[in-house]
Amino acid sequence: MRVIVIAIGRLKQGPERELAERYRARFDDIGRKLGLRALEIHEIAESRSGETRTRIAEEGAAIAALVPERAILMALDERGDNLDSVTLARHVGRWRDEAMPALVFVIGGADGLAPELRGKAKLGLAFGKATWPHQMVRIMLLEQIYRAATILSGHPYHRV
């Protein structure tokens, strides 16, 4: 199963990019053994439109263009569920076992995700009620994807 992260905005060179890359590489090492392909990350430039609705629509269209057919879509959204790591791992494992072609996590822009994308999402995922910078959300997501793989593999990284 392909695992894809699509995010509005780009991580600049520096500690955030290095940490994101570290979790991506760790996932790639363990995920391969679990039948999960290398983690793909797609960065989409923020819309430059002056109107909020137009920005959301343009960013939503750019995200939708990258989502493979029959993919499971998970939207990072402040209204999403606060899943614990084990539950997230169970979802990933179940979708892999159901031979889903891809699992796509989407991180919208500063104005949020297009309603159509939120509506297509199998699951909404929130990291609590706090507002987080997009760079931090991406790093936390990548860590949780890596953690899900370690849970599925029985690796001791995750301790209950």
User: What is the percent of the chain where pLDDT is above 70?
Assistant: 99
Distance CA(6)–CA(152), nearest Å, equals 23
- Closest CA relative to residue 103, chosen from 136, 80, 125: 125
Highest CATH level, class, for 2-153: alpha beta
Distance CA(114)–CA(30), nearest Å, equals 33
- Using the predicted structure, report yes or no on whether residue 160 has a pLDDT greater than 80: no
Q: What is the pLDDT of residues 71-93, one digit of tens each?
A: 999 999 888 899 999 999 999 99
- Compute the average pLDDT of residues 36-59: 95
Strands 102-107 and 123-125, by their bridges, are unpaired
What phi and psi, each to the nearest 5 degrees, are found at residue 53?
Answer: -60, -40
Q: What is the pTM of this model?
A: 0.94
Q: How does DSSP assign the chain, residue by residue?
A: -EEEEEEES-PPTTHHHHHHHHHHHHHHHHHGGGT-PPEEEEEEPPP--SSHHHHHHHHHHHHHTTSPTT-EEEEEEEEEE---HHHHHHHHHHHHHTT-SEEEEEE-BTTB--HHHHHH-SEEE-S-SS---HHHHHHHHHHHHHHHHHHHHT-TTS--
Res 98: pLDDT:
96
